[in-house]
Structure 1
Amino acid sequence: MIAAMAELKDRLQTDLTTAMKARDDVRTRTLRSVLTAISNEEVSGEAARELRDEDVVRLITREAKKRREAAEAFEGNGRAEQAAAERAEGDVLADYLPAPLSDDELRDLVAAVIDETGAEGPKAMGQVMKQVTPRAGGRADGSRIAAEVKRQLTA
């Protein structure tokens, strides 16, 4: 059962070896960083545990967001070379994330949750977000989900 839990982690480790052999510095650096973050996550907290694929996807999503924000910050400060490096790492991470929800899929998901919960008005936004976010499964950014929930609740 544990072997099935870590398929994505195993793929990351295999891909790291391949990247090292190919002397792909960006991919090697990025995968090492992610695998280190996974190891840190596994040993943090009360008891050591192995992360499931959903946890690894969540962690990769968080790492990708850090790269995106860093690239924007570098770009804003006129450091195009560092911004490009961050974007390149973000592109590597994107290979390990599920395909993002389309606008139509997100709209339908939010509408379904609003129907199920009977939510009405902007005050119900938190209630709807709490239901939509896990169902999106890391396939939509929180700000994108929030914008759609707000749009539907105020329409």
Structure 2
Amino acid sequence: MNILDQLNQDMKDAMRSRDKQRLSVIRSVKSSLQNESINKGQELTDDEILTVLNREMKQRKESLHEFEQADRQDLVIKTNAEIQVLSEYMPSQLSDEELRQIVHETIEQVGAQSKSDMGKVMGAIMPKVKGRADGSEVKQLVHQSLS
């Protein structure tokens, strides 16, 4: 079952169980997927769906950070619940050790020597870890490895 089918099934289940929070998040994601599909003029591939899910997750994490700084606990709780629902559709995250291994292998493949090669390394790593690791975390590991 692909991600879109899973979203449709979970939306029906949320409607039946009257889970407004879950239903709201799923509808929001489906709306973003529909908009992206219209922009592309074709059905989305699983990879493109994953890109949209990553964007949705990133937006919510940024909002969470802002809400925490503003000391809005009501919005922090709501956003955390949304992130939890979204995380169910994301691929499993890489462990720190797996991520370090990928960074190390990619640096060797690219032949990076210094921080000036960071762009080449990041360009090679990101497709490998798409949806399975946070970009800022990858950037930090690459930065440390090239230092």
If the TM-score is normalised by the length of the shorter chain, which range does it land in? over 0.9
Which region of structure 1 is more displaced relative to structure 2, 30-39 or 9-18?
A: 9-18
Match of 1:16 among 11, 19, 22: 11
Q: Which amino acid aligns with 1:111?
A: H
For normalisation by structure 1, the TM-score amounts to 0.91
Aligned to 1:129: 122
Identical positions, percent? 36
| Pairing of 1:34-53 with structure 2 (within 5 A) | 34-45=29-40, 48-53=41-46
Q: Which amino acid aligns with 1:21?
A: R
SS in 2 for 1:129: helix
Structure 1 residues without counterparts, runs of 5 or longer? none
Runs of 4+ in 1 over 3 A off after TM superposition: none
Using the TM superposition, give the Cα deviation of residue 137 of structure 1 relative to its aligned residue in structure 2, in angstroms.
2.1
CA RMSD of aligned residues (A): 1.1
For normalisation by structure 2, the TM-score amounts to 0.96
Aligned to 1:31: 26
Aligned length: 147
Structure 2 residues without counterparts, runs of 5 or longer? none
CA-to-partner distance for each residue in 1:81-139, whole Å, 9 max, x for gaps? 01111110010000000111111111110111111111101000000000000001211
Q: Distance in 2 between matches of 1:72 and 1:126?
A: 27
